[in-house]
């Protein structure tokens, strides 16, 4: 039996001053999509004051709306393995991803991804949920990743209509110290070549904004530890922006031309914090401790 008593269930008391259709009320106040409401009525359960209803029915102040999401099942190959769980409730799961781990299955990674580990965890804990990533990270990047446990939560977190946008903070170790010590990089990013991998700052790119602040300086400003906040989420955004300003991330084989041996074989980038507003539990801040290889790197830098 699932550990969460009200898994996939939602109960609302209408607060609208005048009658309004259920569809309009749920869409404007709770970010439900029309498609999801149709699916809930067809495959799940939706009632007003205990009676079955349609999305076109009216609700008035004091009416009790009950929703049971459609039953779902794990849709990825389950593979047992370690999962560093940071936060969990009946709507989301937040984990601290290891470096070198692909987020979701691809043609070349069908069963050795974080998605496979989460699928096995959902089955082991009897949670009837698909694996829906709300945030993702590059293979080499470690840190917090958020998974929604139903379609509504995924849509709610990605709509940005009725809730604040997720705030994502990263920690990076770079060559050279940025000047000034704090600022904003507002430079468009686009594809650098036809291989579909490298990105670069270019005038015809998409708007990209990264805020940064130096936390520590090592040696004679040869290296620095930086905290970053993303305002946009372009592919390789942090890596491209830092490289462009002359402070490439240590270990980044794609964007760092500086050859060095600091004992780390991957990009020294970590998703350290995620702040999100959840439908049931409101604003939550999830922090991810640095992985062992980054702690070892920091120790080396401090002893230069």
Q: Do the Cβ atoms of 146 and 94 come closer than 8 Å?
A: yes
C-alpha distances in angstroms, 125 versus 23, 154, 184, 248?
Answer: 34, 20, 43, 41
Q: Determine the Cα–Cα distance for residues 276 and 212; give it in Å rounded to an integer.
A: 20
Q: Determine the Cα–Cα distance for residues 274 and 135; give it in Å rounded to an integer.
A: 10
Q: Determine the Cα–Cα distance for residues 128 and 190; give it in Å rounded to an integer.
A: 39
Tokens standing for residue 153? 């939560």
Q: Do the Cβ atoms of 271 and 172 come closer than 8 Å?
A: no
Reply yes or no on whether 140 is catalytic.
no
> What φ, ψ does residue 279 adopt, rounded to 5°?
-55, -45
The verdict on whether omega for the bond into residue 153 sits within 30 degrees of 0, i.e. cis, is no
> What φ, ψ does residue 25 adopt, rounded to 5°?
-65, -50
How buried is residue 211: exposed, middle or buried, by Cβ count under 10 Å (0-12/13-18/19+)? middle
From 138, 140, 252, 293, the catalytic residue: 138
How buried is residue 168: exposed, middle or buried, by Cβ count under 10 Å (0-12/13-18/19+)? buried
How buried is residue 23: exposed, middle or buried, by Cβ count under 10 Å (0-12/13-18/19+)? middle
Active-site annotation, residues? 138
């Amino acid at each position: 039996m699932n550990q969460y008593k009200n898994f996939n269930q939602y109960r609302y008391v209408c607060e609208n001053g005048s009658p309004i259709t259920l569809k309009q009320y749920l869409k404007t106040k709770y970010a439900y999509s029309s498609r999801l409401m149709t699916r809930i009525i067809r495959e799940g359960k939706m009632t007003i004051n205990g009676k079955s209803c349609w999305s076109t029915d009216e609700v008035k102040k004091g009416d009790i709306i009950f929703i049971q999401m459609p039953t779902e099942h794990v849709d990825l190959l389950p593979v047992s393995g370690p999962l560093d769980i940071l936060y969990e409730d009946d709507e989301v799961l937040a984990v601290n991803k290891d470096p070198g781990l692909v987020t979701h299955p691809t043609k070349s990674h069908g069963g050795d991804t974080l998605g496979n580990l989460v699928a096995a965890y959902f089955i082991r804990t009897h949670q009837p949920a698909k694996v829906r990533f709300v945030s993702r990270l590059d293979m080499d990047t470690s840190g917090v990743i958020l998974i929604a446990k139903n379609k509504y939560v995924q849509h709610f977190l990605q709509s940005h209509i009725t809730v604040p946008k997720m705030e994502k903070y990263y920690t990076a170790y770079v060559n050279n110290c940025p000047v000034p010590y704090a600022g904003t990089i507002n430079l468009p990013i686009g594809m650098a070549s036809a291989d579909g991998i490298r990105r670069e700052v270019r005038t015809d790119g998409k708007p990209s904004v990264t805020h940064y602040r130096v936390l520590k300086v090592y040696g004679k400003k040869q290296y620095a530890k930086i905290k970053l906040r993303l305002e946009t989420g372009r592919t390789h955004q942090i890596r491209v922006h830092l490289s462009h300003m002359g402070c490439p991330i240590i270990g980044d084989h794609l964007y760092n031309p500086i050859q060095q041996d600091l004992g780390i074989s991957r990009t020294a980038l970590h998703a350290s914090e995620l702040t999100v507003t959840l439908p049931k539990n409101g604003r939550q801040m999830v922090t991810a401790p640095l992985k062992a290889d980054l702690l070892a790197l920091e120790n080396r830098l401090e002893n230069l």
